[in-house]
Homo-oligomer: A and B are copies of this chain.
Amino acid sequence: MLATIDIKVTRAANSKLKEIDFDNLPFGKNFTDHMLEADYINGEWKNVEIKPYQPLLIAPSNAALHYGQAIFEGIKAYKDDQDNAYIFRPYDNFKRFNISAERMQMPVVPEEIFIEGMRKLIEMDRDWIPAKPNYSLYIRPFMYASDEVIGVKASDTYKFIIILSPTGPYYAAPMRIWVEEKYIRAAEGGVGYAKAAGNYGGAMYVTAQAKKNGFDQVLWMDAKEHKYVQECGVMNVFFIVGDKVLTPDLTAGTILAGVTRDTVITVLKEMGFTIEERPVSIDEIIAAHKAGTLKEVFGTGTAATVATIKEMQYKDYNMQFDISNLATTTEVKKRVDDIRYGHAADVHGWMYRV
């Protein structure tokens, strides 16, 4: 259905596949044999190329290194029991990528490059897709400014790249979360809804402080009142309170519109839950915890899928959750995984055949 795209292909002379220990795959450390590259020059995308994975030659005056016009996406590919390869919801990440691009004053990437380029790249490296539970091929499309001038202005040229990394379970252990009340990740009118590089770098100081104190991640609050929970930087967050599920809404543009967030909301509705997407205050969460109605808390993200949260700390108040009985978290994850690994019908059209 897509327009034909002229992709120059240069195959790697030797595959690195046999050098990789597929029983031990730390997240984002190993990359496949090939990468996709495209250049935005004079207002158009050109030089679309799949070539051996290799370093980039970047000028010291590169605009992205100085002024942060850089965005990315995270997507996963899976294999079913018949060795068919599928990408999970690539069109949703494609749309979000271009929303990020617009906010960062970067050009949109056309479907023929983002989707068809990704499909073709994965087709070439399909032997790299692990075929076991909780494993997948992590797909990282990204774009950065490539002007070589250090005047502060939007770059005229850009590079779009896709790299692939076989990956095992992420955040396998239940997590301890620090609720941050002073520092913020994003504010209304800012770039919080964009998957922009700077959102992650800006969060690292507080995350490092939290880690020093034994926490795994930070749950951010809103910038105005420091009262409403936002997201975890690498995950959206869900609270099961009584028979309802609460998760922060996207209206303010301060949190990422997670594709896994949307997947989980859809699946929870199918399981009969009422989902309330609305501002969720930390006071409400604490009150529910005190009343004993806060049953499960989990994060969602492409890397983590569904990550169990076992503890949250807000100021002096500590909340522990019973992780011996995570009926809903477990069931949601199972249902999403069943679709991804081809064990359940793909009624939503989420699986894109490679």
- Partner-B contacts on A (CB < 8 A): 26-29, 31, 35, 53-62, 64-70, 72, 102-105, 138, 140, 142, 144-145, 149-154, 161, 163, 165, 182-191, 196-202, 204-205, 207-208, 223-224, 226, 233-234, 303
**B residues in contact with A69, CB < 8 Å:** 201, 204
Chain B residue nearest to A56 (CB atoms) is B58
> 29 A-B residue contacts at CB 8 Å?
A27-B149, A29-B149, A29-B151, A56-B60, A58-B58, A61-B163, A64-B201, A65-B70, A65-B197, A66-B142, A67-B197, A67-B201, A68-B68, A68-B196, A68-B197, A70-B197, A103-B205, A104-B204, A105-B205, A138-B150, A145-B201, A152-B233, A184-B190, A185-B190, A186-B190, A188-B223, A189-B226, A196-B201, A198-B201
Q: Which of A58, A196, A198 has the most CB of B within 10 A?
A: A198
Q: Name A183's closest neighbour in chain B (CB-CB).
A: B189
Docked-complex contact A201 and B31, CB < 8 angstroms: no
- The residues of B that contact A186 with a CB separation of less than 8 Å are 187, 190
Secondary structure type dominating chain A contacts: loop
Q: Of B27, B104, B144, which is within 8 A of A202 by CB? A: B104
Who on chain B is nearest to A102 by CB? B205
Q: Known contacts A61-B163, A65-B142; can you find 15 more A-B pairs with CB under 8 A?
A: A31-B61, A56-B58, A61-B165, A65-B65, A65-B197, A66-B197, A68-B199, A104-B205, A105-B207, A154-B208, A182-B189, A184-B190, A185-B190, A190-B223, A196-B198
Once A28-B149, A197-B67, A198-B196 are accepted as A-B contacts, the answer to whether A154 and B204 lie under 8 Å apart by CB is yes
Inter-chain contact B152/A61, CB cutoff 8 Å: no
| Contacts known (A153-B204, A208-B154); A190 close to B183, Cβ less than 8 A | yes
CA distance in complex: A144, B58 (Å): 13
Residues of B within 8 A of A140 (CB): 61, 66, 150
| A69 to B191 CA separation, bound complex (whole angstroms) | 16
Q: Write out the residue numbers on chain B whose beta carbons fall within 8 Å of the beta carbon of A103.
A: 205
Shortest Cβ distance from A150 into B: residue? B28
